[in-house]
């Protein structure tokens, strides 16, 4: 219950910040263009707090923190005296109205740059993408990748850390070939390998992007001792405890954590005989595994434990810290990469390169907010930057109910010299609302299936 409360609180804080940033963009540019802003609301429904400034704008914090809006004077909906018509949004030029609408998403992108700038001045812990092993028969093995090579670039785009390289690889989903630039850590020799990815499949719910290619990176390895047990999980119901070391599974000696996870995933809802080592004593236990459904619709077993892990290998971890000017440059580059990736993923969803089963909704976002907030400031700031970019990108989609849809109508108005008819706009808004509700429904169902 405490984890649920923490996730919800972190979600509300994160979403509140991002909504406030987005709506402030609209508000600030509207004011600069001489538009009267009647209300600035964070959330919907009953007002919890409200106040007015000297220019008559009502500021509201409402009960349902799942959005917000800026209500501007508009003589299509409000009775406006002739002397105040120049304060109405719809009386402004097309370019002024476009600037006001675009300011919300732009504020999200600028906020991401600001957050990343702060992060890189504080210092961001990173890890170098060095290959520890290559799985036989995999895509990486066919391309003759070898251990102790550091991956330095993907299709000509460089990255010195695992996180950045992961994003570059995700961008390549759907391609038939990927070119990796490598550097041998022992000799410094540089080489290039081409991966045949025509049959590449990646399920982010069950594996990392590297594992899907058959690459194991140098990083802490999971051990066979238990660090955490999920409440009400099969592990807890069977009597497993934190600190237990699993030594045997189904009468076979356990050599690695991966051996255990493979056995568990392949035997959903089946009893599992294990032997554990607890305070020097060997104890036999029988665990009835749980069952979950993957994004592809397959049944998969689960136990509900997290293992202890070994430390990082020497020379892999480092801290990326920069002076203010360099940090600003890196922050802008990272924001552009996230923006590019977000638009790329939307295209992959449309063309079927990525399944809609991987869409995430509010539950996944809340879990992400809670997890990153519990890890520390840098992790939470990274989460804020990522969601801020996603919020900006989504709002630029040409759906009439979103900022991008309004911009689309205004581009048409700019070309035609007259506004799109109100009837056409209303039809567009209804279609946009239906599409958006459909996507939100799919994302919510995906969230529920992952619980």
Q: Which residues are catalytic?
A: 23
Q: What is the largest CA-CA distance in the chain?
A: 88
Residue 219: φ, ψ to 5°: -160, 175
d(CA 411, CA 94): 8
Look up residue 58 and give its DSSP letter: E
d(CA 37, CA 31): 7
Q: Is 245 left (phi over 0), alpha (psi -120 to 50) or beta?
A: beta
d(CA 144, CA 306): 33
Instruction: Spell out where 197-349 has E strands.
Output: 215-217, 222-229, 245-249, 252-253, 271-278, 281-288, 290-293, 299-302, 305-309, 317-320
Angle subtended at Cα 282 by Cα 281 and Cα 287, rounded to the nearest 5 degrees = 130
d(CA 324, CA 47): 40
d(CA 96, CA 103): 11
Cβ atoms of 139 and 213 within 8 Å: the answer is: yes
Q: 66: part of which helix (H) or strand (E)? A: strand 58-72
- Could you tell me where the DSSP H helices lie in 205-254? 209-212, 234-238
Cβ atoms of 138 and 214 within 8 Å: the answer is: yes
Distances (CA, A) of 427 to 185, 287, 440: 60, 56, 20
d(CA 71, CA 396): 19
d(CA 189, CA 205): 35
Look up residue 76 and give its DSSP letter: T
d(CA 338, CA 223): 33
């Amino acid at each position: 219950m405490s984890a649920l409360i923490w996730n919800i609180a972190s979600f509300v804080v994160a979403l509140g910040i991002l909504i406030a940033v987005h709506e402030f963009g609209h508000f600030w540019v509207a004011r600069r263009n001489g538009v009267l802003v009647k209300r600035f609301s964070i959330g919907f429904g009953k007002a919890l707090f409200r106040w007015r400034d000297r220019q008559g704008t009502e500021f509201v914090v409402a009960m349902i923190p799942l959005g917000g809006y800026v209500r501007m004077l508009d003589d299509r909906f409000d009775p406006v005296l002739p002397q105040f018509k120049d304060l109405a949004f719809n009386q402004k030029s097309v370019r002024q109205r476009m600037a006001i609408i675009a300011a919300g998403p732009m504020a999200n992108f600028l906020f991401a740059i600001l957050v990343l700038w702060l992060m890189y001045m504080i210092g961001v812990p990173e890890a170098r993408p060095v290959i520890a092993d290559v799985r036989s028969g995999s895509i990486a093995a066919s391309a003759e990748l070898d251990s102790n090579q550091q991956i330095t670039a993907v299709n000509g785009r460089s990255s010195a850390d695992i996180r950045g390289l992961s994003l570059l690889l995700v961008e390549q989903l759907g391609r038939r070939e990927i070119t990796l630039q490598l550097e041998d850590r022992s000799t410094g020799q540089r080489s290039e390998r081409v991966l045949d990815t025509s049959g590449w499949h990646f399920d982010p719910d069950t594996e990392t992007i590297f594992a899907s290619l058959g690459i194991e990176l140098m990083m802490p390895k999971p051990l066979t001792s238990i660090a955490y047990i999920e409440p009400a999980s099969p592990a807890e119901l069977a009597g497993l405890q934190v600190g237990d070391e699993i030594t045997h599974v189904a009468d076979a000696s356990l050599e690695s954590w991966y051996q255990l996870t493979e056995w568990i995933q392949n035997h959903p809802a089946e009893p599992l005989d294990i032997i554990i080592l607890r305070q020097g004593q060997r104890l036999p236990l029988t665990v009835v595994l749980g069952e979950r459904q993957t994004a592809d619709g397959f049944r998969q077993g689960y136990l509900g434990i997290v293992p202890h892990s070994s430390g990082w290998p020497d020379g892999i971890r480092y801290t990326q810290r920069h002076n203010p000017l360099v940090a600003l440059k890196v922050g802008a580059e990272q924001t552009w990469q996230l923006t590019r990736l977000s638009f790329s993923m939307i295209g992959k969803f449309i063309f079927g390169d990525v399944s809609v089963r991987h869409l995430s909704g509010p539950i996944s976002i809340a879990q992400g907010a809670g997890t990153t907030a519990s890890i520390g400031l840098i992790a939470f700031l990274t989460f804020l930057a990522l969601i801020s970019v996603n919020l900006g990108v989504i709002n630029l989609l040409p759906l009439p109910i979103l900022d991008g849809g309004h911009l689309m109508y205004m581009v048409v108005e700019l070309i035609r010299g007259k506004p799109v008819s109100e009837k056409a706009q209303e039809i567009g808004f209804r279609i946009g609302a239906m599409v958006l509700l459909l996507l939100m429904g799919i994302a919510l169902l995906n969230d529920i299936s992952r619980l």
